Amino acid sequence: MPLSPPSTNQPQRILLLTGASRGIGHATVKRFSAAGWRVITCSRHAFPENCPWAGGPEDHIQVDLSNPQDTLRAIDEIKRRLPQGELHALVNNAGISPKAEGGARLSTINTAFETWQHVFQVNFFAPIMLARGLVDELERAKGSVVNVTSIAGSRVHPFAGSAYSTSKAALAALTREMAADFGPRGIRVNAIAPGEIDTAILSPGTEKIVEHIPLHRLGTTDEVAKIVYVLCTETSSYVTGAEIHINGGQHV
Ligand SMILES: NC(=O)c1ccc[n+]([C@@H]2O[C@H](COP(=O)([O-])OP(=O)(O)OC[C@H]3O[C@@H](n4cnc5c(N)ncnc54)[C@H](OP(=O)(O)O)[C@@H]3O)[C@@H](O)[C@H]2O)c1
């Protein structure tokens, strides 16, 4: 069947992206804005001056996702910025991976309780708070949620700490639960699980891991962003509850 050309009089689609200031988030904002989306970004810092997309400073919301009250405040602010009350995509990308002194791995034995709580608030509770808080807006747009998990969610990783890894495992399980609950409202919910992507989150010693990755290299942030884009657009219209590995075959 021939494909019809995209309609030009459709309203601009809107993405809410957490953790947009660096790494995978930064590549994601570039990919969506190049495709004509309006991107509302969230992170703790003010909008960086050197950012390449128009409308960026006005569409940036400063929020500390480790603080539940601040997250609720940001949700109200986001709703006010959606002209038709519609949100086409939510990408829960912000994530933290704290290390011990000298960059050492934090294990189940030496992770302070406050660290577990902090990591879970940012990596796990903030995504469900945002998705629940914006469920009506996502429903109106028949939108899509993408949760950014990690290869560390399914295996012990030499550098990723235990709180980080378990928060990502919980986020993968949350993706499944949300797909079941949000699906009847027309919202798709998927996860992407990156492996070793060339960003600041990587630890010294990653070269050793790369030797064992079938594709023998790190991934790029754009290689992640383009799969996020697919999960938020028509190409993936019958995909929900999936967790896509983006890791050069590291999981095999
Ligand atoms: N890079 C990899 O190889 C890799 C592998 C597997 C999974 N991942 C996952 O991919 C996602 C992005 O990773 P990345 O490497 O691109 O991360 P990154 O470069 O460390 O960036 C993290 C982003 O999250 C924001 N952020 C951190 N804490 C926040 C908070 N409390 N409130 C609001 N925003 C906060 C940061 O902005 P501010 O500092 O301005 O707040 C930043 O934009 C994360 O979920 C990570 O776990 C990455």
Q: Residue ranges of the domains in the chain?
A: 14-246
Query: Which pLDDT does position 57 carry in this prediction?
Result: 76
HSE-up of residue 194 (Cα within 13 Å, Cβ side): 26
Query: Which pLDDT does position 77 carry in this prediction?
Result: 97
Mean pLDDT of 40-49: 86
- Catalytically active residues are 164
pLDDT at 176 > cutoff 80: yes
How is domain 14-246 classified at the architecture level of CATH? Answer: 3-Layer(aba) Sandwich (3.40)
Tell which one of 16, 24, 175 to mutate to probe ligand 1, the residue whose CB is within 8 A of the most ligand atoms. Answer: 24
Q: Which atom of ligand 1 is nearest to the CA of 123?
A: 45
pLDDT confidence bin for 47, thresholds 50/70/90 = confident
Pocket of ligand 1 (CB under 6 A): 18-25, 43-45, 63-66, 93-97, 122, 148, 150, 194, 196-197, 199-202
Cα 70 from Cα 76, distance rounded (Å): 10
Asked if residues 115 and 98 have their Cβ atoms less than 8 Å apart, the reply is yes
Query: Which pLDDT does position 4 carry in this prediction?
Result: 43
Mean pLDDT of 5-17: 79
Query: Which pLDDT does position 5 carry in this prediction?
Result: 44
Please report the sign of the dihedral spanned by the C-alpha atoms of residue 11, residue 16, residue 21, residue 26.
Answer: negative
Mean pLDDT of 192-213: 91
Q: Tokens 């295996």 correspond to what residue? A: 155
Concatenated DSSP letters of 154-188: SS--SSS-HHHHHHHHHHHHHHHHHHHHHGGGT-E
Residue nearest to atom 25 of ligand 1 (CA): 19
Q: Tokens 């050197």 correspond to what residue? A: 50
Say which amino acid occupies 81. R
Query: Which pLDDT does position 54 carry in this prediction?
Result: 61
Percent of the chain with pLDDT over 70: 93
Q: Distance from the CA of 8 to the center of ligand 1, in angstroms? A: 34
Pairing mode of beta strands 60-62, 89-92: unpaired
pTM of the predicted structure, to 2 decimals: 0.95
H-helix segments, 3-102 = 23-34, 68-80
